[in-house]
Chains A and B, each alone.
Chain A
Amino acid sequence: MKYWRKPLDFGDVKVPHGEVRILVERCKGCGFCVEYCPKDVLVMSEEFNKKGYHPPKVVKAGECVNCNLCEMICPDFAIFSVAVSDGDAAGAAGSSPEAAGADPRPPERELRRA
């Protein structure tokens, strides 16, 4: 981030880091999360899910600040972010975007629990 002057509390404030999780099969491709992500972490992917919609994918995994806006605005309960500690964030930034954006759990597991 670029600052026109260094904030006085620069040393105290810690920018939180988050990791976006996408439940691909629930997504209906409305694009709200892509439009309103303040850090432009997401883009619409070219791939289809089972229902034929384009889910979003993570392109700037390290830039997520865990603001939860995507989670709040998603009408399909299909995306959320979890906080990661700084050590993990460095790892997430280094990993491939596909790995960070992929559905962390198989859909069968979700059905079984419900």
Chain B
Amino acid sequence: MSTPAEHPEVLPEEHPVAPYIRTDRMPHIWCPTCGIGTVVKCFATALAESGLDLNKVSVVSGIGCTGRVAGYMKLDGFHTTHGRAIPFATGLKLGRPELLVTVFSGDGDLVGIGGNHFIHAARRNMDLLVILVNNFIYGMTGGQNAATTPLTAKTSTMPYGNFERAFNLPQLAASCGATYVARWTCLHIRRLTKAFGEALKRRGFRFIEVITPCATLYARLNKLGSGLDLMRFYHDNAEIRHGADTREVGIAFQDRIVCGKFVDEEQPSFLEMMHEHYRKTLGSKYVPTPPEGGWLHE
């Protein structure tokens, strides 16, 4: 833990999150009315409030619109290959256990292409904070059908409507063993910030799904109006049910969105279980990674 002094001072004329984002890359590439910037803002605010040492926080992203977050945040970051954000983050966490590793990526990247890595990281209870920005579509590549596209929604590869069943992500994460599962939309800015702050303090596999509008593809192909119309839709149809049964929180096309914190429990994480097991079996021969860092630290 660091002292708040390590958080840079914000000048009164400067945007409050300027120390956390790379202002030289602004304006960013995200479309007007895309919600990813709001999620980044909420995460930066939660980081500022947590008082964590920013040298010990890293962001790992995959490919896609949300994959840009690792480049836009002024933290150590990885921009990894498509779908492989969680494997890279796992390696980072095992090599440098003192780091707080955050995976910030999209639905297509984390549960479409990298779905297998997602379920296994959740099964192992790997010490990762996974922020999944869900816009129901593959945005950057041109609006193809994603694993989260709700039934009957139109995408560029399903012009007559989607007939594939969609993932219910909180259920997927909870059933694979995630210890913190929450879902918010990017309209719930205060609650989302609170959830990020809460998840930063926990250990184990923490999963936060954030629903964001995609005006350029999802809304345009489905004739839902602008991103602002989608925000109004979230306002009218989001339903907060903390502790709801994750089997009942699936999202249908233009239907209610159940938000809230669904799972919050303490379970031994992968590293804790590994240390405990080796200590038991190898005894004094086992030399665990020191808490201040692994051999890469030298």
Contact = CB atoms under 8 A, between A and B. Distances in A.
Contacts, number: 77
B291 interface: no
A26 interface: yes
A113 B13 CA distance: 12
Question: Which of B22, B23, B34, B190 has the most chain A CB within a 10 Å cutoff?
Answer: B23
Q: Interface size class for chain A? A: 20 to 34
Given A30-B33, A72-B189, A72-B193, A77 B231 contact: no
B41 A110 contact: no
Contact of B15 (A30, A31, A35, A80): A80
Nearest to A50: B27
B189 A75 contact: no
A75 B35 contact: yes
Nearest to B192: A72
B220 to A, nearest CB: 15
A60 interface: no
Q: Interface size class for chain B? A: 20 to 34
A105 interface: yes
B28 interface: yes
Contacts of B38: 32, 72-75
A104 interface: yes
A53 B32 contact: yes
A39 B274 CA distance: 54
Contact of B28 (A73, A76, A105, A110): A76
A77 B21 contact: yes
Interface of B: 12-18, 21-24, 26-28, 30-38, 41-42, 45, 187, 189-190, 193, 227-228, 231-232
Contact of A35 (B41, B42, B231): B231
B211 to A, nearest CB: 14
A77 to B, nearest CB: 5
Given A25-B27, A51-B27, 4 more contacts: A72-B189, A75-B30, A77-B37, A78-B15
Given A30-B227, A30-B228, A72 B23 contact: no
Contacts of A114: 22-24
26 contacts: A25-B27, A26-B26, A28-B27, A30-B33, A32-B33, A32-B231, A53-B32, A72-B38, A72-B45, A72-B189, A73-B187, A73-B189, A74-B37, A74-B38, A75-B34, A75-B37, A75-B38, A76-B26, A76-B28, A76-B37, A77-B18, A77-B41, A78-B27, A80-B16, A82-B12, A113-B14
B189 A77 contact: no
Contact of B16 (A29, A32, A71, A105): A71
